[in-house]
Amino acid sequence: MQASELELPLERDVFSRTLIRELAGTLQDVVGLDDASGYISVVGVAVGEQIDRQYRSALAVDRLTRAQVTDVLIDLKQRIQGDFFVIEETEDRIVLGNRACPFGELVRDRPSLCMMTSNVFGHIAAQNLGYAAVDLERTIAEGHPDCRVTVYLRASDDLPLTARAYHGR
């Protein structure tokens, strides 16, 4: 039998997610969770800028409206095989749930990868609405069956200490 005839779960998506998982794990092991999260945050901001630019260009707008921000956050995760949905939406915040991580099961024990969600969501919301703080209240990476992410849209002394602030242009 030739190698090309074997049934192996090896293709570009699985390979890429495995590579990212191992990079995140190595960072977490070598520099610790906080610093690993910091490095991944830098990547998240760059990715957030690209995604924000793509959506604004496709929608032919200079800035997304409040409703468009929510729509974009949900849509971008759906496009990369996440399963985010709105739990609650008020003037001050957007509370999102998620039943499937884009990294799949490979996100388990890699909470630093959640900085991608925090930074992409935070960047898009802040760049278009002026301010955002993202709180990763519960994540699949930490062993929960789902995620709960709150995007706060107004600065306040009452924000959870775990919320990361983002400021717009």
Q: Find tokens 């909470």 and name the residue.
A: 111
CA–CA gap between residue 164 and residue 9 (Å, rounded) = 37
Residue 9 banded pLDDT, cuts 50, 70, 90 = confident
Contact 17, 101 (CB under 8 A): no
Q: Is 71 helix (H, G, I), strand (E, B) or coil?
A: helix
Mean pLDDT, the chain, whole residue set: 95
**85 contacts 98 by C-beta, under 8 angstroms:** yes
Q: pLDDT > 70: what percent of the chain?
A: 100
97-150 residue pLDDT tens? 999 999 999 999 999 999 999 999 999 999 999 999 999 999 999 999 999 999
| Domains defined along the chain, listed by start | 11-167 (3.30.1380.20)
pLDDT tens per residue across span 60-79: 999 999 999 999 999 999 99
pLDDT at 103: 93
Tell me the angle at which helices 12-31 and 33-59 cross, rounded to the nearest 10 degrees: 140
